[in-house]
Amino acid sequence: VGAIQLDDGLVQRWAEQPIDRLTITRMLASGENATAEKLVVIAQHVQKELTVRLARRLLDLQTLPYVVVINPNIQRVFALYEKAFATLVNYPKVVNISQDWEFVELVKTLVAEGVEVVPWLAKGVKEASRKVPASQLNLNRFVSDMIMSRISRRVIAEQFIALHEQREGYIGVICREMSPAAAVRRVAPEAQAVCQQAYGVQPPE
C-alpha cells in the first residue's frame, strides 16, 4: 500500500469527535423500513463513524514503541488505515440515493481491502516481541482496542451494505427470527468434536 501524507491535525480533530455506541437495538431501529431518504441519512452516519474510528486507531499506531512502529507488518496496517481514512474524509457527503449506492460500493471495497489486517497485526506484534520482551512493550491494550475497533467497523460496514440487499426476515445482517438456543444446538456437535480432538475431552450435551 502506497504511503499517503495526512495532516496530523486533521487526524487528531477527527479522533477527538465522539462515536455512537453500537448496539443491536439501534441497528434494528435505524434499519427498519429503510426508505431511500433513510438510507441517505444512514450513509452519512456510516461515513462519520468509520472516519472517527479509523482516526483513533491511526493515533494509537503513531504512539507505539519505535520497535513496533518500524515493523513492516505494522506499517502495512498503518498505510491501509491511512488510505481508508483519507478516502472517507475526502469523499463527498451523500445527499441522494444515487450517491448512496456509490458509497455502498466504496464501503464494499474498504471491507475487502481490510481482510488481512488481523494477520498483519498479529505477525507484527509477534515479530516485535522477539526483539523486546512483550512485558516491556505492554501491547495488550493496544491489540485489544485494535481488534474491538475492527469488529465494530466491520459490523457498521456490513450492516450498511446489507440494508441495500434486503432479505426476508432480516434487517441488514440481523435475523429477526434467530433463536440463540437453536444456534447453539446447531454448532454444538462441531464444538464438541473440536474439543475432543484438541483436548481429549468434550463438554456435555
Confidence of residue 2 (pLDDT cuts 50, 70, 90): very low
pLDDT tens per residue across span 153-195: 999 999 999 999 888 888 888 887 777 777 778 888 888 887 7
4: confidence class by pLDDT, cuts 50, 70, 90: low
Share of the chain above pLDDT 70, in %: 96
What confidence tens digit (pLDDT) does each residue in 9-27 have?
A: 999 999 999 999 989 888 9
Q: Which fold has domain 8-172?
A: Butyryl-CoA Dehydrogenase, subunit A; domain 3 (1.20.140)
Lowest mean pLDDT among 1-5, 74-78, 109-113, 118-122: 1-5
Distance, in Å, from the CA atom of 190 to the CA atom of 179, rounded to the nearest integer, reads: 18
CB 27 within 8 A of CB 21: no
Query: Is the four-CA dihedral 168, 173, 179, 182 of positive or negative sign?
Result: positive
Quote the CA–CA distance of 104 and 101 in Å, as a whole number.
5
Is 80 exceeded by the pLDDT of residue 74?
yes
Residues of the chain with CATH 1.20.140.20: 8-172
Owner of C-alpha cell 469523499: 91
Task: Copy the grid coordinates of residue 90.
Answer: 475526502
Task: Note the pLDDT of residue 192.
Answer: 83
Put residue 6 in one of left, alpha, beta given phi > 0 → left and psi -120 to 50 → alpha.
Answer: beta
